[in-house]
A = this chain, B = another copy of it.
Amino acid sequence: MSDESEKVVPKQELHTFVVRAMEAVGLQSDRGSVLADLLVSADYRGHYSHGLNRLDMYLNEIKSGTASKENKEPDIVKESAGTALVEGNNLIGPYVARFCMDLAIQKAKTAGIGFVSCRGSNHFGIAGWYSLRAMEQGFLGMAFCNTSPMMVPPRGTTRTLGTNPLSLAAPANNGDSFVLDMATTAVALGKAELKDRKGEPLPSGWTVDKSGHETHDFKNLHGLMPLGGKEESSGYKGYGLAMMVETFCGILSGGAFGPFVRQWKAFERPANLVSLLLFGQCFIAIDPSQFEEGFTDRMQTLIDACRDQPSADKDPVLVPGDPERNHMELCDKLGGIPYHENQITFANEIAATYKLAPMKTL
């Protein structure tokens, strides 16, 4: 263990705990298992905000009826050789999203590319999990999701778009890869929360207050700035990218979009308005063998050119996916995922609430 206040949980132990917890609110274990795969992957990759930390949110989605525990499948509403429109039927996000990515992969096998847009889904966790699923089968994978409105456009005052993440995973040689998984806001809300907890001011280009002007004070935070920050540093580009993600998700699919997506952690279900509580998502798989031979060699050469240059200071130059790679190596050494003791307490509280055997630590 790297820290006194940390405890290590084997991945399998976390997995079975998630399945048990979701069973306690009535979700079938095969579906809970998909969610568990996702949450384990998030924490293993070091995206702690999107792993175990979110378990209560997925429990609440089911308990509130925002997500359905019915034994239904997502429906393919419309399809062509390279595209599909999917209705998620309000099922849990990872179940819908995995279905969509598998459909995109299937289409890419014959049409070279598959592009699937879905509506009626719920929180799908880290976008990278779906891109990686395509990559593990030799494809380029992409995933997109609209999210609760948090971004205020440059010059504006209203939370109009979400953090709208996008992801691309592309294979290189010997298990190496390029894995981009990013929000289109400058930072996610969690980063601002972390600064606040440390008593530090919010950095330039992160957040705005109700008047639409930059704030460095967490208590005045009204919205997030897009990637690029203020207008002078091209915040309108991050804003455009968030609109691009929304175009692929809510606009193409006919689900909720932009300011009409549910507020963060809103589980109330207004009668007949449940569709406004759901998310739109998009998945792309591309078959590199339909292009010039030797894709992974060229990808590796580019990755190496990035990593192998002299660094400005002492920190090595990384490519997207390297921080996650480093974290997974740490976990493998430790024999599991290291958690702050507060997160273990949080899991134990869930165990007590639902009368489950608690998660064992090493």
Query: Which chain A residues have a beta carbon within 8 Å of chain B's beta carbons?
Result: 77-83, 85, 107, 110-115, 117, 119, 140, 153-158, 160, 168, 170, 178, 180, 182-183, 186-187, 203-206, 208, 211-213, 227-229, 232-234, 236-241, 243-244, 246-247, 250-254, 257-259, 286-288, 290-295, 298-299, 301-302, 305-306, 309-313, 315-320
Contacts and interface: CB of A to CB of B under 8 A. Distances in A.
B82 A254 contact: no
B292 A243 contact: no
Interface centre among A79, A180, A288, A295 (most CB of B within 10 A): A180
Given A302-B257, A318-B155, A111 B140 contact: no
Contacts of A208: 312
Contacts of A82: 81-82, 107, 111-114
30 contacts: A79-B112, A80-B110, A82-B111, A83-B112, A85-B290, A85-B292, A111-B113, A157-B311, A160-B306, A178-B247, A180-B240, A182-B234, A186-B233, A204-B204, A205-B233, A206-B233, A208-B312, A212-B313, A227-B238, A229-B229, A243-B320, A247-B299, A251-B299, A252-B286, A252-B288, A252-B292, A253-B291, A253-B292, A258-B302, A259-B305
A213 B318 CA distance: 16
Nearest to A252: B291
A309 B240 CA distance: 17
A81 B111 contact: yes
A82 to B, nearest CB: 4
A118 to B, nearest CB: 10
B186 A228 contact: yes
A113 B81 CA distance: 9
Given A83-B113, A204-B233, A205-B229, A213 B312 contact: yes
A291 B316 CA distance: 44
A189 to B, nearest CB: 14
A313 B155 contact: yes
A78 B288 CA distance: 12
B233 A170 contact: no
A213 to B, nearest CB: 6
A203 B233 contact: yes
A115 to B, nearest CB: 5
Contacts of A309: 153, 156-158, 160
A314 to B, nearest CB: 9
Contact of A234 (B117, B227, B293): B227
A286 B206 contact: no
Top-6 shortest CB links A-B: A254-B292, A212-B312, A83-B112, A80-B112, A82-B82, A82-B111
Nearest to A203: B232
A155 B234 contact: no
Contacts of A79: 112, 290
Given A80-B111, A182-B234, A254-B292, 7 more contacts: A78-B291, A153-B317, A154-B317, A155-B313, A168-B244, A236-B320, A257-B298
B117 A291 contact: yes
A310 to B, nearest CB: 5
Interface centre among A82, A233, A313, A319 (most CB of B within 10 A): A82
Nearest to A140: B247
